Chain A
Amino acid sequence: MTNKYYEFFCPVKVIAGKSALEHIPYELTGLAAKRPMIVTDKGVRAAGLLDPVIAACEESGLEIVSIYDDVPPDSSTTVVRDIAGIYRQEKCDSIIAVGGGSAIDTGKAVNILVSEGGDNIAKYSGAGIIKHPLKPFFVVPTTAGTGSEVTSVAVITDEAKGVKLPFTSSFLLPNAAIIDPRMTLTLPPHITAATAMDAMTHATEAFTCMAKNPLSDAYATAAVKKISHSLLHVMDNPKDTDGRLELAQASTMAGIAFSNSMVGLVHALGHATGAICHLPHGLCMSLYLPYVLEYNLEEIRAPLGELLLYLEGPEVYSATPSSRRAEASISALRKLRDQLYKRCQLPRTLKETGKVQEEQLDHIAEMALDDGSIMFNPKEVTLEDARAVLRRAWA
Chain B
Amino acid sequence: MLAKRIQPMIFQARRLYVEMMFQVMGRALQAVSEVDDSVKNEARALPEGFLFEMMVMPDGPRLIVEHTGLGRFHFHGDSAPRPIDLSIQFKHIAHAFLVLSFQEKTSVAFANDRMLVDGDISYAVRMTRVLNRLESFILPKLIAQRAVKEYPANLHLPEKLISAARIYLKVATNFVETVRA
**Is there an interface contact between A374 and B116, defined as CB atoms closer than 8 Å?**
no
**Is there an interface contact between A379 and B150, defined as CB atoms closer than 8 Å?**
yes
CA A126 – CA B85 in complex, angstroms? Answer: 12
**Is there an interface contact between A370 and B108, defined as CB atoms closer than 8 Å?**
no
CA A5 – CA B45 in complex, angstroms? Answer: 33
In the complex, what residues of B have CB within 8 A of residue A371's CB? 122, 125
**Is there an interface contact between B125 and A211, defined as CB atoms closer than 8 Å?**
no
Q: Does B178 contact A (CB under 8 A)?
A: no
Q: Chain A, 122-155, contact with B by CB distance < 8 Å: what is the 0/1 string? A: 0000111000000000000000000000000000
Given A127-B116, A128-B116, A379-B150, A262 and B121 contact (CB-CB distance below 8 Å): no
Chain A residue nearest to B122 in the complex (CB): A370
* Chain B interfacial residues counted at CB < 8 A: 25
CA A7 – CA B110 in complex, angstroms? Answer: 12
CA A213 – CA B163 in complex, angstroms? Answer: 38
Given A3-B98, A127-B116, A211 and B122 contact (CB-CB distance below 8 Å): no
A347 nearest CB across to chain B (Å): 27
B121 nearest CB across to chain A (Å): 4
**Is there an interface contact between B111 and A372, defined as CB atoms closer than 8 Å?**
no
Q: Does B174 contact A (CB under 8 A)?
A: no
CA A7 – CA B91 in complex, angstroms? Answer: 13
**Is there an interface contact between A372 and B112, defined as CB atoms closer than 8 Å?**
no
**Is there an interface contact between B116 and A380, defined as CB atoms closer than 8 Å?**
no
In the complex, what residues of B have CB within 8 A of residue A3's CB? 98, 103-104, 108, 112
Chain A residue nearest to B98 in the complex (CB): A3
**Is there an interface contact between B116 and A210, defined as CB atoms closer than 8 Å?**
no
**Is there an interface contact between A375 and B128, defined as CB atoms closer than 8 Å?**
yes
CA A319 – CA B121 in complex, angstroms? Answer: 44
Q: Does A376 contact B (CB under 8 A)?
A: yes
In the complex, besides A210-B111, A374-B125, A380-B107, 5 extra interface pairs with C-beta distance below 8 angstroms are: A128-B116, A371-B122, A375-B125, A376-B110, A376-B111
Give me the interface of A with B, judged by CB distance under 8 Å.
3-7, 126-128, 166, 209-211, 262, 369-372, 374-376, 379-380
List 5 tightest A-B contacts by C-beta distance, closest first: A380-B150, A370-B122, A211-B111, A372-B121, A210-B111
21 A–B contacts, CB within 8 A, in A order: A3-B104, A3-B108, A3-B112, A5-B112, A5-B113, A6-B112, A7-B113, A126-B119, A127-B118, A210-B108, A211-B112, A370-B45, A370-B126, A371-B122, A371-B125, A372-B122, A372-B124, A375-B111, A379-B150, A380-B107, A380-B149
